[in-house]
């Protein structure tokens, strides 16, 4: 796993100029950092919420949880959080859980992405296969019954190992087994809203609308 290898090679450190770091590229299986596939790999890890920062990057708390979880359930929860960071995967899960429709999946793809129907049809098979690969590891865990109450707090002056080594205010979200931390910025607020939206998919129907 990429994250595990990076954790071992760069424990508690910032990876400076990751896009031109030949050592990191070779760690991930590329001959050098001058490689489009390598840059795409870094970009994908950011989309899953496992890396953050530019041009200097670091592993996120989610990435650390994924590699340090003490049991399969903990790993599944962290992995599910990473999967839900992909907007298309999160929206497909909201609509279909882990069982995608056998026919006309392209309709959901088109509605979610607002792409032309012809394009949605063309990518349907790829999306189906990629979604099943990404969610396979968490299919055996019951995400329909998270315990606890959703709490959103802003912690002024909370210490964070930020890329710029500065003190940050954090937005913290705790909902049963799910935990998120984002910087208290405009982008962080948008990410927090998206995170709360993603949690709707895992809250039992009977609990929706009930006061905490």
As a whole number, mean pLDDT of residues 30-46 equals 87
| Residue 79 shares a structural domain with residue 61 | no
| Residue 29 shares a structural domain with residue 58 | yes
As a whole number, mean pLDDT of residues 111-137 equals 90
Residue 78, pLDDT > 90, answer no
Mean pLDDT of the chain: 75
Would residue 202 count as lying in a domain? yes
Of 115, 138, 161, which residue constitutes the final position of a domain?
138
| Residue 168 shares a structural domain with residue 198 | yes
Would residue 173 count as lying in a domain? yes
Share above pLDDT 70 across residues of the chain, in percent, rounded to a whole number = 64
Of 138, 166, 194, which residue constitutes the final position of a domain?
138
80-94, 112-126, 150-164, 194-208: least confidently modelled range: 150-164
Of 49, 66, 83, which residue constitutes the final position of a domain?
66
Residue 131 pLDDT grade (very low, low, confident, very high; cuts 50, 70, 90) = very high
Q: What confidence tens digit (pLDDT) does each residue in 161-202 have? A: 333 333 345 566 766 655 566 555 555 666 666 667 666 655
Would residue 17 count as lying in a domain? yes
Q: In terms of residue numbers, what domain contains 196?
A: 151-207
Would residue 212 count as lying in a domain? no
| Residue 120 shares a structural domain with residue 165 | no
Name the domain count of the chain. Answer: 3
Q: Check residue 204 and give its pLDDT.
A: 54
Q: Check residue 181 and give its pLDDT.
A: 61
Residue 95, pLDDT > 90, answer yes
As a whole number, mean pLDDT of residues 99-108 equals 94
Q: Check residue 106 and give its pLDDT.
A: 95
Would residue 143 count as lying in a domain? no
| Residue 134 shares a structural domain with residue 77 | yes
Highest average pLDDT, of 29-38, 57-66, 100-109, 128-137, comes from 100-109
What is the rounded distance in angstroms from the CA atom of residue 71 to the CA atom of residue 68?
A: 9
| Residue 47 shares a structural domain with residue 77 | no
| Residue 53 shares a structural domain with residue 9 | yes
Q: Check residue 108 and give its pLDDT.
A: 95
Q: Which of 208, 203, 162 is nearest to 185 (CA)?
A: 162
Q: Check residue 182 and give its pLDDT.
A: 58
């Amino acid at each position: 796993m990429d994250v595990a290898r990076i954790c071992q090679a760069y424990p508690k450190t910032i990876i400076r100029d990751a896009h031109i770091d030949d050592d990191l590229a070779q760690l991930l299986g590329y001959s050098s950092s001058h490689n489009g596939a390598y840059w795409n790999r870094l970009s994908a890890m950011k989309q899953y919420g496992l890396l953050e920062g530019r041009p200097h990057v670091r592993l996120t708390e989610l990435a650390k949880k994924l590699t340090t979880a003490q049991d399969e359930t903990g790993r599944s929860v962290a992995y599910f959080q990473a999967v839900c960071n992909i907007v298309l995967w999160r929206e497909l899960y909201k609509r279909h859980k882990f069982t995608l429709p056998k026919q006309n999946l392209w309709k959901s793809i088109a509605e979610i992405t607002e792409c032309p129907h012809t394009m949605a049809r063309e990518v349907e098979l790829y999306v189906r296969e990629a979604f099943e690969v990404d969610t396979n590891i968490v299919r055996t865990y019951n995400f329909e019954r998270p315990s606890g109450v959703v709490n959103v707090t802003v912690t002024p002056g909370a210490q964070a190992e930020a890329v710029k080594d500065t003190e940050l205010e954090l937005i913290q979200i705790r909902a049963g087994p799910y935990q998120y931390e984002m910087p208290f910025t405009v982008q962080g607020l948008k990410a927090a809203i998206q995170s709360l939206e993603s949690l709707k998919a895992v809250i039992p129907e009977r609990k929706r609308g009930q006061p905490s």
